[in-house]
């Protein structure tokens, strides 16, 4: 059976550990023939990310990437493009809000907290898309995807500022889809259901929320990171050649339910 992304070159931004959704997408792409470049935010996670890269069939560069550092983004993007010979796929899995801005009220979020979350969680996709655009144009097209959550559409207590940032992120997806579509570059989001990742543990009451949501999904269960990885593979492949500007739910059907 032909591999779905054979010969494609992918940059995965946001892998933190082996349980992260970004890593599941990276593995799915790797298993289907893509070369994979990974980024790390700081020295604390560099060792783990490099170890993960070594397990891939077609590892590419592993580079530092702080999405608030324009100079580093320029340098790292150039290193990845040179190491892979181009970029066909970008996976954006970066988001942040201060703890107090998750658990508190929106009216109590400071200007600095608001701007910080929007910068890292939403603007970073704009910044990265602009940097991969020339490489994807040269390749004749490409696929950009990011990770969202249903809190972009509905108020979810305990996810306050991140919900606002995810709303902005999904709007960014739609505008980038329009801007880049004439070059054959598709831009989509995966709106995943709750997954018990390390990052999710920082959300107040996450475990109770995940249990409640699982009981109300049509499939009566939680999702797995591998299921999100499979969705990422679909969006990266030619199977989704006419899909862009979409926020695709991978949540066992929870988004379809009224209660």
- pLDDT bin (cut points 50, 70, 90) of residue 195 is confident
Question: Bigger pLDDT: 167 or 196?
Answer: 167
Q: Report all structural domains of the chain as residue ranges with CATH numbers, in order of start.
A: 9-249 (3.40.50.720)
184 in Cβ contact with 144 (< 8 Å)? no
63-92: per-residue pLDDT in tens? 999 999 999 999 999 999 999 999 999 999
Closest residue by Cα to residue 28 from 202, 145, 132, 135: 145
Mean pLDDT of the chain: 94
- pLDDT bin (cut points 50, 70, 90) of residue 12 is very high
**Over 70: is that where the pLDDT of 253 sits?**
yes
- pLDDT bin (cut points 50, 70, 90) of residue 202 is low
Q: What mean pLDDT comes out for the span 124-140? A: 98
- pLDDT bin (cut points 50, 70, 90) of residue 203 is low
> Counting Cβ atoms within 10 Å, is residue 224 exposed (0-12), middle (13-18) or buried (19+)?
middle
Tell me, what's the pLDDT at 204? 58
**Over 70: is that where the pLDDT of 197 sits?**
no
89-125: per-residue pLDDT in tens? 999 999 999 999 998 999 999 999 999 999 999 999 9
The two three-digit tokens of residue 81, written as one number: 């493009």
Tell me, what's the pLDDT at 10? 98
The two three-digit tokens of residue 126, written as one number: 């704009």
The half-sphere exposure of 234 on its side-chain side, counting CA atoms within 13 A, is: 17
Catalytic residue among 40, 123, 149, 175: 149
Tell me, what's the pLDDT at 213? 80
**Over 90: is that where the pLDDT of 215 sits?**
no
40 is annotated as an active-site residue: no
**Over 80: is that where the pLDDT of 200 sits?**
no
The two three-digit tokens of residue 20, written as one number: 């992260």
Q: What mean pLDDT comes out for the span 117-138? A: 98
Q: H-type helices in the chain, by residue range?
A: 21-31, 43-54, 70-84, 99-103, 111-118, 124-139, 160-181, 206-216, 225-236
- pLDDT bin (cut points 50, 70, 90) of residue 212 is confident
20 in Cβ contact with 93 (< 8 Å)? yes
Work out the percent of the chain whose per-residue pLDDT is above 70: 94
Catalytic residue among 40, 123, 159, 175: 159
175 is annotated as an active-site residue: no
Rounded to whole angstroms, the Cα distance separating 252 from 107 reads 32
Work out the percent of the chain whose per-residue pLDDT is above 90: 85
Closest residue by Cα to residue 144 from 115, 178, 119: 178
Tell me, what's the pLDDT at 211? 73
Give the least confident one: 194-198, 200-204, 247-251.
200-204
């Amino acid at each position: 059976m032909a591999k779905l992304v054979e010969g494609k070159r992918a940059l995965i931004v946001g892998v933190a550990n082996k349980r992260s959704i970004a890593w599941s997408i990276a593995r799915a792409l790797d298993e289907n023939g893509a070369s994979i470049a990974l980024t790390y935010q700081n020295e604390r996670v560099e060792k783990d990310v490099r170890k993960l890269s070594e397990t891939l069939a077609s590892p590419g560069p592993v580079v530092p990437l702080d999405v608030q550092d324009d100079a580093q983004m320029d340098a790292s993007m150039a290193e990845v493009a040179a190491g892979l010979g181009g970029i066909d796929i970008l996976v954006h899995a970066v988001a942040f809000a201060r703890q107090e801005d998750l658990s508190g009220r929106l009216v109590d979020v400071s200007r600095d907290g608001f701007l910080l979350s929007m910068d890292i969680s939403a603007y970073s996709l704009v910044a990265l898309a602009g940097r991969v655009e020339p490489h994807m144009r040269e390749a004749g097209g490409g696929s950009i995807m990011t990770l969202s959550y249903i809190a972009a559409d509905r108020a979810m207590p305990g996810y306050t500022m991140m919900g606002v940032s995810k709303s902005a992120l999904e709007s960014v997806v739609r505008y980038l889809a329009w801007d880049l579509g004439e070059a054959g570059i598709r831009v989509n989001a995966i709106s995943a259901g709750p997954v018990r990742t390390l990052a999710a543990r920082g959300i107040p009451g996450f475990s109770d929320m995940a249990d409640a949501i699982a009981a109300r999904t049509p499939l009566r269960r939680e999702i797995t990171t591998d299921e999100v990885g499979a969705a990422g593979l679909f969006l990266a492949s030619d199977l989704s050649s006419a899909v862009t500007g979409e926020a695709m739910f991978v949540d066992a059907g929870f988004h379809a339910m009224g209660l």
